[in-house]
Structure 1
Amino acid sequence: MNEVLRVAMAERGETVESLAHRVGVDPKTAGRWLSAGRVPHPRTRVAVAGILGREPAELWPEPYRRRDLPWFRPWVELEQDAVSIRSYQSLLVPGLLQTEEYARAVLGTGCLLPPDEVAQLVSGRLKRQVLLDRDPPAQVVFMIDELVLHRMVGSRVIMARQVAHLVAVAGAGARAATSDPARRTLAHRSGRAVHAGAAARRSRGGLSGQSAPWRGGD
């Protein structure tokens, strides 16, 4: 539980319902903020903090612990506040869809960064993925070149798990948007879609290729 938020609400005499009314969100949404790891949109954080007389970083410190690269920070802020995102990747799986193992393999390629910095970047990348489950959801569309599924990152085991994750993301509560088996598009109930080509076949079959170059952005 977010104990700091709970105490701040109690001090100001705010309930979940009253806070939700003042901010303009559904009470269920406001109630989720009390759960550990649930962070509202940046604008909402500022509004809630103002009502409670606190700083946003006091109530939700995690977004303010910079684990990303300085030049990438503006994108992270925009990303978390976006209502719609479209992403096309021809080299690697998008950061918002990467498993922890895959992200660690990408960011650790070539030993260009010390292990502790790699761990921080991986943690920051995984934290960004709450975007996919926030309420209200963002409309997110990922288009991934099929070569991404053939390009070996880390190991065959890591790739198999990564592709299985793509299939799970695309398939959970999804509806087929096209019948073309070579380029299947699935739209998730939360508003995200994955254009994953023959991802399901790749998760069951073999994967081969060369290690991907290091890229620290997405």
Structure 2
Amino acid sequence: MERQLLADEVRALRARRGYSQDELAKLIGFSQSTIKNIETAYRMPTKEQAHLLDKALDTAGVLTRWESRIRAAPISPGFRPFAAAEAEARALKWFEYSVVPGLLQTEEYARMLVEAFPGLTESEVVARVAAKLDRQAVLELEDPPWFWAVIDEHVLHRNVGGPPVMAAQLAKLVEFARRPRVCIQVLSAACPHNAMGGGFVIAEVARQSTVAYVDTVLDGQTVYDRAMVEMVGVVWESIRTKALSDNESLGLIEEGAQQWQQRIAS
């Protein structure tokens, strides 16, 4: 939401000054596509770009302060617009290639993943983990969204935090897989697919357009464009139809949990 507000503010300030996107781009020394991406919330301005925009638009540092505030928040700028859709969704369709979906992670598993991100202080780690756990409340509502998840089989065997963390994490997957509005499917490690570059989520929200989030190594992107969201949906259906059934998947997850428990005992 804040990212979209920043985009709207840049667009309004540019219009008030009477600049075209191309004219503003030349003033700050960047391309017209950079301005377009900022104004459509496709990309956050960097600290340098925010400073240059403040000078060009005579804003007394407003955009620089916005940029600092957004980047300091515990949820990444690329995901933040999607977080609002996630909280209001009637259905969530989630694919993960390398990790357990965020809404299904244990605190210990989530912390291990956050700590792996370079350059974070302890307080930043705590804030990010807390923000992720807070989001999980959506699945605890009296009327929760329908939740479909497809996870690559590698997720069950990737050692995140050691056997105790993994055993607890897979036990939580088993618990969720047995809930009435949750379906977790495993995609066999031997099955090639067209989303090996990363995970994504589709949120279907009542009385609003469907929104998608596509993960990347740096930040990720919330997608509103109807054609792009539709394509993400096509990829989702392709992956889901290749995955094991929910019952077969539950058996595989239970087997993985037992294997991690055995590693603890040994």
- For this structure pair, what is the TM-score category when the shorter chain's length is used for normalisation? 0.5 to 0.7
User: What is the RMSD computed on CA atoms of the aligned residues?
Assistant: 3.0
**Residue 135 of structure 1: how far off its partner (Å):** 3.0
Structure 1 residue aligned with 2:244: 183
TM-score (norm 1): 0.54
Distance 1:174 1:116, change over 3 A: same
Structure 1 counterpart of 2:146, from 139, 146, 149:
139
Structure 2 residue aligned with 1:107: 114
The AA in structure 2 aligned to 1:87 is W
Structure 2 residue aligned with 1:117: 124
**Distance (Å, rounded) in 2 between the aligned partners of 1:122 and 1:98:** 10
**Distance (Å, rounded) in 2 between the aligned partners of 1:200 and 1:150:** 12
Task: Report if the CA contact (8 A) 1:146-1:196 is conserved.
Answer: no
Q: Please list, as runs of the form range in 1=range in 2, the aligned pairs for 1:57-76 lying within 5 A after superposition.
A: 66-76=73-83
Task: Report if the CA contact (8 A) 1:88-1:143 is conserved.
Answer: yes
Structure 2 residue aligned with 1:49: none
Q: Secondary structure at the match of 2:160?
A: coil
Task: Report if the CA contact (8 A) 1:164-1:203 is conserved.
Answer: yes
The AA in structure 1 aligned to 2:112 is A
Structure of larger gyration radius? 2
**Distance (Å, rounded) in 1 between the aligned partners of 2:184 and 2:118:** 41
Verify: 1:205 aligned to 2:205, yes or no: no
Verify: 1:79 aligned to 2:86, yes or no: yes
**Distance (Å, rounded) in 1 between the aligned partners of 2:112 and 2:172:** 16
Q: Secondary structure at the match of 1:70?
A: coil
Task: Report if the CA contact (8 A) 1:143-1:196 is conserved.
Answer: no
Distance 1:175 1:133, change over 3 A: closer
The AA in structure 2 aligned to 1:147 is H
Distance 1:144 1:175, change over 3 A: closer
Task: Report if the CA contact (8 A) 1:83-1:138 is conserved.
Answer: yes
Identical aligned pairs, as a percentage? 34
Distance 1:148 1:197, change over 3 A: farther
Q: Secondary structure at the match of 2:120?
A: coil
**Residue 183 of structure 1: how far off its partner (Å):** 2.9
Structure 2 counterpart of 1:98, from 97, 105, 124:
105
Structure 2 residue aligned with 1:163: 170
**Distance (Å, rounded) in 2 between the aligned partners of 1:175 and 1:166:** 10
**Residue 110 of structure 1: how far off its partner (Å):** 5.4
**Residue 115 of structure 1: how far off its partner (Å):** 1.1
Task: Report if the CA contact (8 A) 1:131-1:137 is conserved.
Answer: yes
Structure 2 residue aligned with 1:89: 96
